[in-house]
Every structure is written in C-alpha cells, then in structure tokens.
Amino acid sequence: MDMIRELHGTHVLICAENGPPLASERDANDFLGAAWAAEATMVAIPVARLDPAFFQLATRLAGDVAQKFVNYRIRLAIVGDISPQCAQSKALRDFVHESNQGQALWFVRDIAALDARLTG
C-alpha cells in the first residue's frame, strides 16, 4: 500500500512494491495523480515497479518519465538496487550519476538513503 511520509519537510509519496508497473510514459500519469491527491511534492517508486525498458536508455522511457515529472514539478526518486542494470550499461551509469547531481530525479538504495539526501 502506498503511503505518505514527510521527510525533512518534503511530502513524499512512497509507492508500494506491489502495484501496476511503470511501463510507459502514460503510466507516469497514475503516479503523478496519486502524488497530487496526497499533496506530495516527491514520488518514491521502487525498482520492482519499473519495467525493464526503463533501464534501457535507447527506449527513452526513463528520460520521458523524468521529463514528465519535471514538467509537473514533482520530484522523482527511484528506490532500490540497480547495480545489476548499471553493470551492463555505461550510459545508464552516467545517467544515474548525472541525475543524482540534480534535484529532479534521484536513484537511491532505500528510503533511509532518500531521507539522508533530503537532509542536505
């Protein structure tokens, strides 16, 4: 079950491990709608909810989803271990590194790591 938590002044919609996958840009609308309903300014989506195409940058899914979240001014955190996917793709490693330098999209290992990022 999804839940809302306030982490260092940020209302975060933490999505459950189970639920519909994020498999297309259109699916992002469901996550954004849930964020608006909960008055969240950030959505934390577990890796388990992401279609494998998200990690294949040639599909443009990750970039399109990230842009949609930016357009609606909702921050996005991808939560979970993506080291297997990063080990297979230098482009993905670079994308993750660059994303983590900004404020719109972060890749974090767990909610504790997200909490720590939001403190500073």
- Note the pLDDT tens digit of each residue in 5-15: 999 999 999 99
Give the distance between the most distant pair of CA atoms in the chain.
Answer: 37
3 state DSSP class of 112: helix
Q: What pLDDT sits at residue 120?
A: 72
Q: What percent of the chain has pLDDT above 90?
A: 98
**Stretch 52-79: mean pLDDT, rounded?**
97
Phi, psi of 27 (to 5 degrees): -60, -25
Query: Residues 43, 77: contact at Cβ < 8 Å?
Result: yes
Whole-number mean pLDDT of the chain?
A: 97
Span 97-106, average pLDDT: 97
H-only helix segments in 23-60? 28-37
For residue 49, the model assigns a pLDDT of 98
The CA distance from 120 to 99, in Å, is 16
Residue-wise pLDDT for 1-42, tens only, equals: 899 999 999 999 999 999 999 999 999 999 999 999 999 999
* Number of CB atoms found within 10 A of residue 91's CB: 12
